[in-house]
Chains A and B, each alone.
Chain A
């Protein structure tokens, strides 16, 4: 069971999300509607994970995201899942840059509809994983189209799924291939992009994301 602090200014969505989380046996310790309340609620409840909207009062700009990043700065490792209406590389990047990029997630709000996957993503973030929305990964890949042009279409697909935070097993399932094939693609990606990645899912995600963002220097060795 996760103890969750939820920040979402739309009452309709907030109530819906509380219902959804409780249905999966989690406890929403606080459900708030603004960035300031979010900061207070985290201090009061010490939750296992924070789930927050980007655009919130008072300015209806990116207050939710800023509050999340400020929270991470004060409590490194506090898992935060940001729900957004925007496919926006720079928003996700700010989140990934907060402490070491572990235990964060950036998902489009419409992913909530795929209830089980959404709850699964929440779990992965709470356990220190990194989850990035497929649309944002696609944007990152377009951003790096020069070096990635060396990859085949299948290899790009594997790279994208890796960046979303998927394990080899779930990549194989998503692509309807064997895990062996995934490993083979993985190997040739490493060669073509001149990368050295270990195979533990989470460090791999961070490394792939770092590469996609054009910062190979921050990769774990």
Chain B
């Protein structure tokens, strides 16, 4: 799975391309297959299989024999352990080699060990099913697959190469050349005809070569792909894309806020000022009352736009941080709200924003539904978590499913791996508890 760190152009185009990744199987169906590089890739894949397979076979046999023999003197045991783990590096090579004929990357099914060090690594690997599946693959590959692949690619190369080389052999020998060790050619037209046959056979062979490579790739994928590994990386990617969506959403809100502030708000202030100046001149004239009315309208529009901007993204949150912004919410609340937040340093911006809107929503719920006469927002950093609580003295019984407000808060907090807990027994009190992982330096 490709890690998309941002959403800039090249990465996005990469992502789009991944939707239809070219594989040798899909290319086989195209008319231009023969002229493309894909037959060569198939040949290279099978050829490298032969080499790698031979190495695998030798490694397996050597380790097995040496390990078994030396077990009596204890040194053999580590060798047998290495034998068990042979599949791990082989599978890693196989996953990269697969890219030759299949652009869809095969996810690494192994976990990162929890701790560093050889023991932790060994323990993790030996507990994974993937390790044992990869060992099975190594055995299959070393003893069965590579000889077959070598046979196929070897035959094709020998036949085509042999035919093509006929004129050269004739020239070297001077009198005759044995074509594929089967019949004798002693004339130039014959030699050229053999070379031509070789040339014509190449595109013909390209198809079985491609088909066998495709089958081999499918087998590798089937044996080495971990279903949960694929799923996990998809889930990871989904999580990342959700974070990006929230970031983009927040950036868009900021942009709207800035546009309103720099545009409409300034123009309305200027309009109000112009009207004010006009009133100086026309105070006693017939236009006076109309100008006053126009200025009142401009003032009302300014109040509305200010509230709108504050709802989109309060400037105090950017400038002064979470505590000041929550105190501001408390000042605006219709019921008295105490703020007991203790944050020695400002949390990351995404956390501040999510927590601010969560507290805002919680306080709005308190004011609307709880019948409370008082509320408190308290919290701080504890054990690497930002914990914030909103408690009221209302009658409780809050329905967490009511409206989308709280659900939206929960969604937003969960993007940051945080949690929103609501306790609201009948008779009260209602407590909203927010927990967001927050590592501060």
Instruction: Give the docked Cα–Cα distance between A112 and B295 (Å).
Output: 11
Instruction: Give the docked Cα–Cα distance between A91 and B310 (Å).
Output: 15
How distant is A34 from chain B, measured CB to nearest CB, in Å? Answer: 14
Cβ-neighbour of B269 out of A23, A89, A112 (below 8 A): A112
**B contact residues around A62 at 8 Å (CB):** 315, 319
Given that A85-B261, A113-B295 are known contacts, is A12 also in contact with B267, CB under 8 Å in the complex?
yes
Closest to A94 in B: B320
**A contact residues around B324 at 8 Å (CB):** 90
Closest to B301 in A: A110
Contact call A115/B299, Cβ cutoff below 8 A: no
Closest to B319 in A: A62
**B contact residues around A87 at 8 Å (CB):** 306
**A contact residues around B309 at 8 Å (CB):** 85
Closest to B258 in A: A60
Is residue B280 contacting chain A, with contact meaning CB distance below 8 A?
Answer: yes
Stretch at the interface among B57-65, B325-333, B351-359, B432-440: B325-333
Question: Number of A-B pairs whose CB atoms are under 8 Å?
Answer: 83
**A contact residues around B276 at 8 Å (CB):** 112-115, 118
How distant is B20 from chain A, measured CB to nearest CB, in Å? Answer: 43
Given that A90-B327, A142-B331 are known contacts, is A112 also in contact with B273, CB under 8 Å in the complex?
yes
Is residue B212 contacting chain A, with contact meaning CB distance below 8 A?
Answer: no
Closest to A8 in B: B266
Contact call B336/A145, Cβ cutoff below 8 A: yes
Is residue B114 contacting chain A, with contact meaning CB distance below 8 A?
Answer: no
Interface of A is mostly: helix
How distant is A23 from chain B, measured CB to nearest CB, in Å? Answer: 7
Contact call B273/A143, Cβ cutoff below 8 A: no
Contact call B269/A88, Cβ cutoff below 8 A: no
Closest to A65 in B: B319
Is residue B430 contacting chain A, with contact meaning CB distance below 8 A?
Answer: no
How distant is B336 from chain A, measured CB to nearest CB, in Å? Answer: 6
Contact call A110/B262, Cβ cutoff below 8 A: no
Contact call A115/B280, Cβ cutoff below 8 A: yes
Interface 1/0s, chain A 116-132, versus B by CB < 8 A? 10100000000000000
The size class of the interface chain B forms with chain A is 35 or more
Instruction: Give the docked Cα–Cα distance between A58 and B356 (Å).
Output: 26
**B contact residues around A91 at 8 Å (CB):** 316
**B contact residues around A143 at 8 Å (CB):** 330-331
Is residue B155 contacting chain A, with contact meaning CB distance below 8 A?
Answer: no
**A contact residues around B318 at 8 Å (CB):** 61
Residues of B270-286 contacting chain A, CB below 8 A? 270, 272-277, 279-280
Contact call B277/A20, Cβ cutoff below 8 A: yes
**A contact residues around B270 at 8 Å (CB):** 10, 12-13, 16
Instruction: Give the docked Cα–Cα distance between A110 and B301 (Å).
Output: 10
Interface 1/0s, chain A 141-171, versus B by CB < 8 A? 0110110000000000000000000000000
Is residue A17 contacting chain B, with contact meaning CB distance below 8 A?
Answer: yes
**A contact residues around B269 at 8 Å (CB):** 13, 109-110, 112-113
How distant is B191 from chain A, measured CB to nearest CB, in Å? Answer: 79
Is residue B169 contacting chain A, with contact meaning CB distance below 8 A?
Answer: no
Given that A90-B316, A90-B324 are known contacts, is A20 also in contact with B262, CB under 8 Å in the complex?
no
Closest to B274 in A: A16
Is residue A203 contacting chain B, with contact meaning CB distance below 8 A?
Answer: no
**A contact residues around B327 at 8 Å (CB):** 89-90
Is residue A86 contacting chain B, with contact meaning CB distance below 8 A?
Answer: yes
**B contact residues around A85 at 8 Å (CB):** 261, 265, 306, 309, 315
Residues of B300-359 contacting chain A, CB below 8 A? 302, 306, 309-310, 315-316, 318-320, 324, 327-328, 330-332, 336
Contact call A110/B266, Cβ cutoff below 8 A: no
How distant is A184 from chain B, measured CB to nearest CB, in Å? Answer: 29
Is residue B298 contacting chain A, with contact meaning CB distance below 8 A?
Answer: yes
Cβ-neighbour of B272 out of A60, A113, A145 (below 8 A): A113
**B contact residues around A23 at 8 Å (CB):** 277
Contact call B315/A16, Cβ cutoff below 8 A: no
Contact call B316/A86, Cβ cutoff below 8 A: yes
Interface 1/0s, chain A 51-64, versus B by CB < 8 A? 00001000011100
Given that A10-B262, A113-B272, A114-B276 are known contacts, is A146 also in contact with B320, CB under 8 Å in the complex?
no
Instruction: Give the docked Cα–Cα distance between A24 and B273 (Å).
Output: 14
Is residue A201 contacting chain B, with contact meaning CB distance below 8 A?
Answer: no
**B contact residues around A39 at 8 Å (CB):** none
**B contact residues around A98 at 8 Å (CB):** none
Instruction: Give the docked Cα–Cα distance between A172 and B266 (Å).
Output: 33
Contact call B328/A89, Cβ cutoff below 8 A: yes
How distant is A86 from chain B, measured CB to nearest CB, in Å? Answer: 6
Residues of B384-413 contacting chain A, CB below 8 A? none
How distant is B338 from chain A, measured CB to nearest CB, in Å? Answer: 10
Instruction: Give the docked Cα–Cα distance between A139 and B318 (Å).
Output: 20
Given that A10-B266, A20-B273, A60-B258 are known contacts, is A89 also in contact with B331, CB under 8 Å in the complex?
yes
Instruction: Give the docked Cα–Cα distance between A114 and B302 (Å).
Output: 14
Residues of A1-47 contacting chain B, CB below 8 A? 10, 12-13, 16-17, 19-20, 23
7 A–B pairs (Cβ distance < 8 Å), ordered by A: A12-B270, A13-B270, A86-B315, A90-B324, A110-B299, A118-B276, A142-B332
Binding site for A on B (CB under 8 A): 258, 261-262, 265-270, 272-277, 279-280, 295, 298-299, 302, 306, 309-310, 315-316, 318-320, 324, 327-328, 330-332, 336
Query: Apart from A88-B316, A110-B298, what are 14 other A-B pairs with CB-CB below 8 Å?
Result: A19-B277, A61-B319, A86-B306, A89-B327, A89-B331, A90-B324, A90-B327, A109-B269, A110-B302, A112-B273, A113-B276, A113-B298, A115-B280, A139-B332
A-B interface, 4 closest residue pairs, ranked by CB to CB distance from nearest: A113-B272, A115-B276, A113-B276, A10-B266
Binding site for B on A (CB under 8 A): 10, 12-13, 16-17, 19-20, 23, 55, 60-62, 85-91, 109-110, 112-116, 118, 139, 142-143, 145-146
